[in-house]
Structure 1
Amino acid sequence: MMIVVMIIQLRFTLLSLNDNISRQRTTAVWPEATAKPANRQKNKTHEGDETLKRRRFGAQGVTLDDGIAHNSQSEEVMAYRDSSTFLKGTQSANPHNDYCQHFVDTGQRPQNFIRDVGIQDRFEEYPKLKELIKLKDELIHETATPPMYLKCDLLQYNLRELNGKFDVILIEPPLEEYQRSCGVTNTRFWSWEEIMKLEIEEVAAPRSFVFLWCGSSDGLDLGRQCLRKWGFRRCEDICWIKTNINNPSKVKNVEPRAVFQRTKEHCLMGIKGTVRRSTDGDFIHANVDIDLIISEEPPFGMMEKPEEIFHIIEHFCLGRRRLHLFGRDLTIRPGWLTLGPELTNSNLNTEAYNAHFNRTANDYLTGCTERIEALRPKSPPPKSALGGPSRGRGRGGIQRGRPPPV
């Protein structure tokens, strides 16, 4: 009898020992098993959060319904059933301002909340830049030619009849992609093949700039082809970010081949000739403005571009010979020659217009004051091999005393 009792006690001892060893191995090999109850309790702290946690493992891993991983190669993956995790405020599991989710919920674009985007408010905290812009605007106004304009069909009109060259050419074509967002209209929309046939190279000065609005679709690539055909090199891409503060509608115009909501347009900038900002300060003032325009999207059926593009051009290039193609009555502006089929009148006199630039050698430039030269951003002046000043072509308000290029 004693022998039987000892055998039973020995079996219970061995079973207890094996159980302890098994538990130790489980804790060492699968540490997540011991942390699972704490994780479950933590996940219940946010009411209404229907986040489902799943775990994905390697080829040899096993996942049980209770969520316990039986492999050391476990990797946690979050899956979300709703947007409660991304709500704004402290009630969210991850508190933050999610403007993308706000756009999905309300239709208000994230760029609506960017502050101080207007020309009047942008430089309030930068007094030197504010003074620079004020002085440049005054100088541009003083040196601007009277506005001239010509109603013409640019498909048939020969640009050579202008009998002059231009330092800046702004092209605002009615692209075919605008037709999908304009509804019924009398506007004739242009294909990129027709735009490329414009003889811009015939009226561009040896050193000049072109600004081409190319939409938000395939115009970025086709616009570059136009620049190359006209003899320009792309140097900048000005982006117009459209806000919808006045019309935060949830109805969204989706392009047929678009992947995302398109809320911007591009204006490609091309350069012809050799222009260096370190030596050609009499012709360009670089870094005065940025390459972004943030303004309200025009109402449905209208193709107006932001007026700020004129300010960017005038602040940058000091050439006074400015040509605007596909202009309208609203875009007639002092200092510009405007051509387009949508104009309602004409007052162009080519001889009178060209006479504004032929009286002296530098009449085609606005010039520069000493104060503007001191305030504007500029590169350090280059030096010659001997360490002295460069023998380059003047800076800032220094006039070079040569006739305008033809």
Structure 2
Amino acid sequence: MPTYVRIPPNPIPRSWVKHIRTIDDSVESTPKHVISGVIVPKKEPKWSRFIHTPVTLNYDFSAFDRTFQCVYMDPPLLLPDEPPKPGFFDVSKLKAIPVGRLLVPGAFLFTWCEKELLPDMCELAENEWGLKYVENFCWVCQHTNNQIATLPSAFFRRSKVTLLIFRREGDLEMRHQRSPDSLFDFVKPRRPGDLNDRKPEFAYQVIQTLLPKSLCSEELPEPDRLLQLWMPEDCHRTNWTTIVQDPVLDATV
């Protein structure tokens, strides 16, 4: 018997097919070129702010007002009973980041978290920053052979990372979307100085679609509504304030 397959019209949803980005640089991220094997920015993205700091936990956030609609971060956290290693720290030290004082009413915190630290991160967000858990997004990690990653873990294999979403009480204009709550994407090679795996670019699309008033314009050019922490240096982006920690070149990669 014949088999009928109905192909949906453009844009084809992510549930049907994985989009592979072209070789051209994305307009959202910093255009890059290679010098002596090192990827460096060609120019500053429009409507962006880029700040270097030796240690993000020690950065003086008092210079910022309460203007941010979203803080997006990927802190390099030690797992329970994991021995110390360069650049990583215990989840309790995140108290040094005044997330609650950076966010406007109704704003969001998006933070990547391994499964062993989910209870600690939720407790920290509620008790220290005054935020409530609202949702999560899951990255299912794949290898380049399309097999799901099976890294070692205590009970099950480690195959995913969770993006926890917290919100401060209040009203904020949002655009509801039909984005999936999970994404299958490849594990990217780490570059010198990277502490964590590079997270999917789709997270930026989720945040910027959810918060349309967070984007810059000619009338509002200051990137004071989106803040990202502990992202790779080449993740400097239009619409974002990026605080980059100096690389830990002896980190395990």
**Shorter-chain TM-score: which interval?**
0.5 to 0.7
Mapping of residues 215-294 of structure 1, within 5 Å: 215-217=114-116, 219-228=117-126, 229-246=128-145, 253-255=151-153, 258-275=154-171, 283-294=173-184
Cα deviation code 1:129-182 (max 9, x no counterpart): xxxxxxxx99xxxxx96221111122211211124420111011012249x7xx
In structure 2, the partner of 1:206 is 105
- Scaled by the length of structure 1, the TM-score of the pair is 0.43
Q: Structure 2: any 5+ residue segments left out of the alignment?
A: 1-14, 22-26, 29-44, 215-224, 249-253
3-state secondary structure, aligned to 1:293: strand
3-state secondary structure, aligned to 2:87: coil
Give 1:314 shift.
0.4
Question: Contact conserved, 2:134 with 2:165, CA < 8 A, in 1?
Answer: yes
In structure 2, the partner of 1:155 is 57
Give the AA of the match of 1:200.
V
Q: d(CA) in 2 for partners of 1:210 and 1:145?
A: 24
Cα deviation code 1:239-261 (max 9, x no counterpart): 111111348599x5312xx2111
Higher relative contact order (CA 8 A, sep 6+): 2
Q: d(CA) in 2 for partners of 1:193 and 1:148?
A: 28
3-state secondary structure, aligned to 1:304: coil
In structure 2, the partner of 1:190 is 89
Cα deviation code 1:310-338 (max 9, x no counterpart): 11100111232100011222211100000
Q: Give yes or no for the alignment of 1:176 onto 2:83.
A: no
Q: d(CA) in 2 for partners of 1:156 and 1:254?
A: 32
3-state secondary structure, aligned to 1:230: coil
Structure 2 vs 1, CA of residues 246 and 148 (structure 1 numbering), >3 Å: closer, same or farther? farther
* Structure with higher strand content: 2
1:326 corresponds to which of 230, 236, 240: 230
3-state secondary structure, aligned to 2:175: coil
* Structure with higher helix content: 1
Structure 2 vs 1, CA of residues 192 and 269 (structure 1 numbering), >3 Å: closer, same or farther? same
Structure 2 vs 1, CA of residues 145 and 156 (structure 1 numbering), >3 Å: closer, same or farther? same
Q: d(CA) in 2 for partners of 1:269 and 1:313?
A: 10
Give the AA of the match of 1:266.
T
Mapping of residues 370-385 of structure 1, within 5 Å: none
- Scaled by the length of structure 2, the TM-score of the pair is 0.67
Question: What is the root-mean-square deviation of aligned Cα atoms in Å?
Answer: 3.2
1:339 corresponds to which of 243, 248, 252: 243
Q: d(CA) in 1 for partners of 2:148 and 2:72?
A: 32
Give 1:117 shift.
3.2
Q: d(CA) in 1 for partners of 2:226 and 2:57?
A: 20
Give 1:290 shift.
1.8
Q: Structure 1: any 5+ residue segments left out of the alignment?
A: 1-113, 121-136, 139-143, 345-406
Structure 2 vs 1, CA of residues 249 and 202 (structure 1 numbering), >3 Å: closer, same or farther? closer
Q: d(CA) in 1 for partners of 2:155 and 2:58?
A: 37
Question: Contact conserved, 2:66 with 2:101, CA < 8 A, in 1?
Answer: no
Structure 2 vs 1, CA of residues 254 and 165 (structure 1 numbering), >3 Å: closer, same or farther? same
Question: Contact conserved, 2:58 with 2:96, CA < 8 A, in 1?
Answer: no
Give 1:267 shift.
0.8
Mapping of residues 3-402 of structure 1, within 5 Å: 115-118=16-19, 146-152=47-53, 153-177=55-79, 187-217=86-116, 219-228=117-126, 229-246=128-145, 253-255=151-153, 258-275=154-171, 283-299=173-189, 303-320=197-214, 321-342=225-246
Q: d(CA) in 1 for partners of 2:239 and 2:110?
A: 16
Give 1:234 shift.
0.5
Q: d(CA) in 2 for partners of 1:161 and 1:274?
A: 23
3-state secondary structure, aligned to 1:236: strand
Cα deviation code 1:12-32 (max 9, x no counterpart): xxxxxxxxxxxxxxxxxxxxx
